[in-house]
């Protein structure tokens, strides 16, 4: 190992439509439920946000290939059923450069899906600070660590202590 700590990479894909819960949701939410956050600070090249606790349905992505991503997406769709249209945004979590999972946001005050597939779990995530940078394009798992490098460098030069493994980053 190169002496540098590997950071977990969390990609929040705000692909679809979201609406806030008693707050003014940003335009990228497009009138659907999305995780509520407060913009804490603006930095050069990224924004620091504080997200409220959230719930997600999650499944493992076997390999960072599009076919495995599609298989994980299908597992979540089968569990979510008709409600799946409301399950946005999407999280792609990559740790140790190879372990990956796909998660769909479960809006608050909605019925939780029945866990009919043992490879799909309901996860609660605590309040968390995330660092957001808009790339303006879709991020593929094999290239996402390359896209993450510049923001992690910005964090280490902007504030001390921000690169702890427990911190999450959104691209």
Longest dimension (CA), the chain: 47
pLDDT tens across 40-72, in order?
A: 888 777 788 888 999 999 999 888 777 888 899
Predicted TM-score (pTM) of the model is 0.68
Q: What element of type H or E holds 74? A: helix 66-80
Q: What element of type H or E holds 2? A: none
* Domain ranges (residues) in the chain: 9-170
In contact, 102 and 31? CB cutoff 8 Å: no
DSSP codes joined into one string, 128-161: EEEEE---SS---HHHHHHHHHHHHHHHHHHSTT
Q: What is the pLDDT of residue 74?
A: 92
Which CATH topology does 9-170 take?
Answer: Multidrug-efflux Transporter 1 Regulator Bmrr; Chain A (3.20.80)
């Amino acid at each position: 190992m190169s002496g540098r700590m590997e950071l977990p990479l969390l990609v929040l894909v705000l692909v679809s439509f979201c609406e806030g819960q008693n707050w003014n949701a940003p335009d990228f939410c497009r009138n659907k439920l999305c995780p509520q956050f407060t913009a804490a600070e603006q930095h050069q090249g990224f924004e620091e946000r504080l997200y409220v606790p959230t719930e997600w349905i999650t499944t493992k992505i076997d390999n960072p290939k599009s076919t495995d991503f599609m298989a994980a997406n299908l597992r979540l769709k089968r569990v979510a059923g008709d409600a799946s249209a409301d399950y946005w945004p999407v999280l792609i979590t990559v740790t140790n450069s190879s372990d990956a999972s796909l998660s769909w946001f479960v809006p608050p005050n909605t019925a939780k899906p029945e866990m009919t597939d043992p490879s799909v779990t309901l996860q609660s995530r605590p309040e968390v600070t995330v660092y957001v940078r808009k790339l303006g394009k879709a991020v593929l798992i094999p290239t996402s660590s390359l896209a993450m490098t510049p923001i992690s460098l910005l964090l280490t030069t902007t504030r001390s202590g921000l690169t702890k493994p427990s911190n999450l980053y959104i691209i």
